[in-house]
A and B are shown apart, each in its own frame.
Chain A
Amino acid sequence: MVSIQDLSFSYKRKTVFKGLELNLQPGHIYGLLGRNGTGKSTLLRNIAGFLFPQSGRIDALGFEPRRRQPAFLQQVFLLPEEFYLPPIPITRWIEHTARFYPLFNIDQFYKYTTGFDIPMQGGMQEMSYGQQKKLLISFALAVNSPLLLMDEPTNGLDILSKSQFRKIMAGAVDEKKCILISTHQVKDLENLIDRILVIEEGRILFDQGIDSIAQRLSFTLSFDPEETARAFYSESSLKGNALVLPNTEGEDSRPDLEMLYKAIILEGEKISKHFKS
């Protein structure tokens, strides 16, 4: 659905990607993780055709995003982390914006805004940041684009709204749709993401499905020094050492995405080798 080959991208002085490769398939929610400033948002914007690569190839839905053809743009939606909504009523904004997306469904939109408890009267600029965000999320999902890119979607949402967001996302997954979410809030999305991507030093360092992570790694608390010595990554806690270990149980574990992320960033080589073995 999206295929990226040998992508290089730099801002004026800063090289962001060098030879980045990535393939995205429909039917999944991808979680894009990485340190601050590693280019998560830049990658989303390259895929959406908002930024143009210096070299390499991006194929998204059979189009080259940088050409910005309407037939492509109506099938992709990017929910940005920072956004601007004009000082007009919601209904007018919908009228103006929805017409660019042929699969937009107004009933679906109202179902989401009702679920999020968003007041539909009044101007959009009187809404709080969180309310505006929920409005945009409702729109992003009602657009029904086969390719949906979300940049830190849970930032600014209160606790009930996060739960509502997860319900909406669970209902939005379908075989023909590819969802890519960049996030630092892995706990918010832990049971929704089914493939993990970690970006580091200009390339994709890790790309694995949750199922294979659950098969290959186990996440446990232990006081056992031998077990700790076998771990790819460990950190001490009150309840013992939190460990990321090779899974030898023959039964799937429950991946702890925060621990996994730390293990990949700090011990990427070892982890990659383990998945190749």
Chain B
Amino acid sequence: MQFRESQSIYLQIADYVCEKILLKEWTEGERIPSVRELAVQLEVNPNTVMRTYEFLQQQEIIYNQRGIGFFTSANAIRQAANYRKQVFIEKELPQVFRSLYLLGMNPDELQPGYEQYRKQFFS
């Protein structure tokens, strides 16, 4: 995994977990990698992954079954989508809006490009 410049690592790992869930690579109610396993895979301090998992528990995306491990929650997809949507609207969209404004573009102009992207990667 290539980490981006500015965002804190624990939140980037949270995004990684959300993507696994939203792409259904990890299904709802499934056991997910342990803190140590994910730390080794991503080459980060396990304390960082622990922090990610605590954060994702607060968001009700995953839960901890004591002594067994971490699992995605029964409605993990909805919860993950809610969280990511909020981040997208608050953090990522303003950048896009800024470009639209600077380039004098109308949001409607994005529609055909979006359709093509969807066909290319997710059909």
CA distance A194 to B48 in the complex (A): 8
Contact among A28, A163, A214 for B8, CB-based, below 8 A: A214
B58 proximal to A (CB < 8 A)? no
Most buried by A among B3, B5, B46, B48: B46
Most buried by A among B5, B6, B11, B45: B45
CA distance A254 to B8 in the complex (A): 4
Known: A171-B36, A171-B39. A192 touches B44 (CB 8 A): yes
Q: How far is the CB of B17 from chain A (nearest CB, A)?
A: 16
B7 proximal to A (CB < 8 A)? yes
Known: A191-B3, A253-B6. A167 touches B45 (CB 8 A): no
Contact indicator B45/A170 (Cβ below 8 Å): yes
Q: How far is the CB of A235 from chain B (nearest CB, A)?
A: 16
Contact indicator B8/A173 (Cβ below 8 Å): no
B10 proximal to A (CB < 8 A)? yes
Q: How far is the CB of A249 from chain B (nearest CB, A)?
A: 10
Contact indicator A191/B48 (Cβ below 8 Å): yes
Contact among B8, B44, B46 for A252, CB-based, below 8 A: B8
- CB neighbours (8 Å) of B11 from chain A are 252
B115 proximal to A (CB < 8 A)? no
**Using a CB-CB cutoff of 8 Å, which residues 217-269 of chain A contact chain B?**
219-220, 251-254
**Using a CB-CB cutoff of 8 Å, which residues 51-79 of chain B contact chain A?**
51
**Complex interface bits, B19-40 against A, C-beta within 8 A gives 1, otherwise 0:** 0000000000000000010011
Count, chain B residues at interface, CB 8 A: 21
- CB neighbours (8 Å) of A163 from chain B are 43
State which size class the interface on A falls in.
20 to 34
CA distance A14 to B36 in the complex (A): 44
A193 proximal to B (CB < 8 A)? yes
CA distance A191 to B1 in the complex (A): 12
B9 proximal to A (CB < 8 A)? yes
B47 proximal to A (CB < 8 A)? yes
Q: How far is the CB of A234 from chain B (nearest CB, A)?
A: 16
Residue of A nearest to B13 (CB): A191
Q: How far is the CB of A153 from chain B (nearest CB, A)?
A: 14
Q: How far is the CB of A186 from chain B (nearest CB, A)?
A: 14
Contact indicator A27/B43 (Cβ below 8 Å): no
CA distance A194 to B6 in the complex (A): 17
**Using a CB-CB cutoff of 8 Å, which residues 118-153 of chain A contact chain B?**
none
Residue of A nearest to B47 (CB): A194
A166 proximal to B (CB < 8 A)? yes
Contact indicator A166/B46 (Cβ below 8 Å): no
Contacts from B to A (Cβ < 8 Å): 3-11, 36, 39-48, 51
A-B pairs with beta carbons under 8 Å apart, 19 shown: A28-B47, A170-B36, A170-B40, A170-B42, A170-B43, A170-B45, A171-B40, A173-B39, A173-B46, A173-B47, A191-B42, A191-B45, A192-B43, A192-B45, A193-B45, A194-B47, A219-B6, A253-B6, A254-B4
The 10 closest A-B pairs by CB, nearest first: A166-B43, A252-B8, A191-B44, A170-B39, A171-B40, A170-B40, A194-B45, A254-B8, A167-B40, A173-B46
